[in-house]
Amino acid sequence: MPYVITSPCVADYSCLEICPVDCISPNPDDDAFDHAEQLYIDPDRCIDCAACVDACPVNAIYKQELLPPRWTHYAEVNRDYFRNAEKRIAVVQETSL
């Protein structure tokens, strides 16, 4: 099963840089990145290589079946992001840590 990015994600895109199949979005070269809350893994393109897991500086990436209970819904969140990828992402202007 694919890997899933969960809530601690801080959009440090080390995962995206090491992903060999380019299945993590949004890319920092895209405008969407500037308003992203987090990054997401496309479950249909992930090859389960796990390279992103330790590249993530905040340990936010899990194999889908090993998601901690509080974050199991992130499997759907990641999938959903790509279903909605064509849709515009609103500008979130307020400060967020």
Binding site for other proteins (CB under 8 A): 7-14, 17-21, 28, 33-34, 36-38, 47-51, 53-60, 63, 65-66, 70, 77, 80-81, 84, 87-90, 92-97
Q: How far is the CB of 4 from other proteins (least distance, A)?
A: 13
82: left (phi over 0), alpha (psi -120 to 50) or beta: alpha
Sign for the CA dihedral angle at 7, 13, 19, 25 comes to positive
Question: What sign does the CA torsion over 34, 40, 42, 48 have?
Answer: positive
Residue 90: CB minimum distance to other proteins, A: 5
Q: Least distance from C-beta 69 to other proteins, angstroms? A: 10
